[in-house]
Amino acid sequence: MEIEKITKQDYKEKTAPYRAWLNSISIPVALIVLFIAVFFGFTVNAAGMIIFVFAIITHVNYKKIQAPKICHVAPILYYVYNVLSVFYVMSLIAHPEVNLTAAILSLINFALLILVIAFYFVAAQAIKKQFPRMKEDYNEAVQAYKGKK
């Protein structure tokens, strides 16, 4: 059976829901791993920035696939988390001794991180519900695109 060949643009469109779903799963898992690594004293300088870039890409993909509005909550909360992290670090630099502001910002950031992780999993479920055949569509698009080359 001959597989119909598709263009690169069609390939991107057909694989977008699966890629958005995959990012919705991988971002919170990466955040959990990063948090655990930092908790145990490992320094992971670029990992946070890489996850942030993936969050932006995922947010753009949500827009492209017209994902449910609930999907946009996680990236927005993640942006807020990163902005608050800047203020947290600034308060630590300004007052290296333990201070109330740093403690409050730390608790708020931790709560936001938990919400970000939860909402990414909610987004993954919403995408799965909206695109029940996304995995099959992805596999078919990959085969059709590879057949083109």
Find the radius of gyration of the CA atoms of the chain: 19
Hey, is 142 helix, strand or coil?
helix
Instruction: Compute the distance between CA of residue 106 and CA of residue 16 in angstroms, rounded to an integer.
Output: 35
Alpha carbons 29 and 126: distance in angstroms, whole number = 17
Predicted confidence (pLDDT) at residue 1 exceeds the cutoff of 70:
no
Chain-centroid distance, C-alpha 98: 32
Give the residue from 89, 56, 88 showing the smallest Cα distance to 75: 56
In this structure, what are the phi and psi dihedrals at residue 55, rounded to the nearest 5 degrees?
A: -65, -40
> What is the value of pTM for the model shown?
0.84
Structure confidence by residue, pLDDT tens digits, 91-139: 777 777 767 877 888 889 899 999 999 999 999 999 999 999 999 999 9
